[in-house]
Amino acid sequence: MNEKIRNVAIIAHVDHGKTTLVDALLKKSGTFRENEHVDTCCMDSNPLEHERGITILAKTTGVNYKGYKINIVDTPGHADFSGEVERIMNMVDGVCLLVDAFDGPMPQTRFVLKQAISYHLKTVVVINKVDRPGADPERALNEVLELFMDLGADDEQLEFPVVYTSALNMTSSLDKDISTQKPDMDALFDTIIQTIPAPNADRSKPLQFQPSLLDYNRYVGRIGIGRVDRGTIKIGQDVTCIRLDGSTSKFKIAKLFTFHGLNRIEAEEVEAGDICGIAGLPDIMVGETVCSNDCLEALPPLRIDEPTMKMSFSANTSPFAGKEGKLLTAQKIRDRLYEESQKDVSMRFEVQAANESFMVTGRGELHLSVLIETMRREGFELQVSKPMVITKIIDGVECEPFEDLQIDVPDEFAGNVMQLVGGRQAETVNMTSENGQTRLVYIIPSRGLISFMNPFMTLTKGYGIINHSFREFRPKIDKAIGQRSLGVLVATDTGMSTAYALKSAEERGTMFIGPGVDVYEGMIVGENKYQMDLAVNVIKAKSLGNQRSSNKDVTVVLKSPRRMSLEDCLDYVNSDELVEVTPKSIRMRKRILNTEERKKYEAHHPEEYKR
**pLDDT tens, 32-57?**
444 333 444 334 344 444 344 444 44
Torsion of CA 444, 445, 449, 452, to 10 degrees: -70
Lowest mean pLDDT among 55-69, 137-151, 396-410: 55-69
> How far is 488 from 441, CA to CA, in rounded Å?
32
Mean pLDDT over residues 428-442, rounded? 85
Instruction: Kindly give the pairing relationship between strand 275-279 and strand 171-173.
Output: unpaired
> How far is 259 from 265, CA to CA, in rounded Å?
6
**Cα atoms in the Cβ-side hemisphere of radius 13 Å centred on 361:** 13
Of 580 and 306, the one with more pLDDT: 580
Torsion sign across C-alpha atoms 395, 396, 400, 405: negative
Q: Say if residues 586 and 569 touch (Cβ distance below 8 Å).
A: yes
> How far is 131 from 170, CA to CA, in rounded Å?
11
**pLDDT tens, 258-290?**
887 767 788 888 888 888 888 888 878 888 888
Top-confidence range, 351-355, 399-403, 459-463: 399-403
**pLDDT tens, 537-562?**
888 887 665 555 544 545 677 778 88
**pLDDT tens, 329-349?**
888 888 888 888 777 777 788
Amino acid occupying residue 545: G
Q: Which residues contact 458 (CB under 8 A, 6 or more apart)?
A: none
**pLDDT tens, 360-399?**
888 777 778 888 888 888 888 999 988 888 888 888 888 8
Q: What is the pLDDT of residue 39?
A: 43
Lowest mean pLDDT among 42-56, 171-185, 518-532: 42-56
**pLDDT tens, 216-234?**
777 777 888 888 888 888 8
> How far is 270 from 232, CA to CA, in rounded Å?
6
> How far is 91 from 228, CA to CA, in rounded Å?
9
Band the pLDDT of 513: cuts 50, 70, 90: confident
Q: What is the pLDDT of residue 46?
A: 46
Q: Which domains does the chain have, with CATH numbers?
A: 5-195 (3.40.50.300), 208-292 (2.40.30.10), 392-475 (3.30.70.240), 488-543+552-573+587-610 (2.40.50.250)
**pLDDT tens, 70-86?**
888 877 655 556 566 76
Q: What is the pLDDT of residue 55?
A: 42
CA distances from 232 to 90, 228, 257, 302 (A): 18, 7, 13, 22
Q: Say if residues 556 and 499 touch (Cβ distance below 8 Å).
A: yes
Residue 611 has pLDDT above 50, yes or no: no
Top-confidence range, 8-22, 134-148, 292-306, 469-483: 134-148
> How far is 420 from 148, CA to CA, in rounded Å?
33
Q: What is the pLDDT of residue 383?
A: 92
**pLDDT tens, 232-258?**
888 888 888 888 888 888 888 888 888
DSSP track, 482-532: S--SS-EEEE-S-EE--HHHHHHHTTTEEES--TT-EE-TTBEEEEESSSS
Q: Which residues contact 400 (CB under 8 A, 6 or more apart)?
A: 389, 391, 392, 445, 446, 447, 473, 474, 475, 476, 477
Amino acid occupying residue 570: L
Q: What is the pLDDT of residue 607?
A: 57
Cβ burial of 546 (10 Å; 0-12, 13-18, 19+) is exposed
Band the pLDDT of 15: cuts 50, 70, 90: low
Q: The pTM is what?
A: 0.69
Mean of the per-residue pLDDT values for the chain? 80
CA distances from 48 to 43, 225, 285, 309, 513 (A): 12, 23, 26, 21, 25
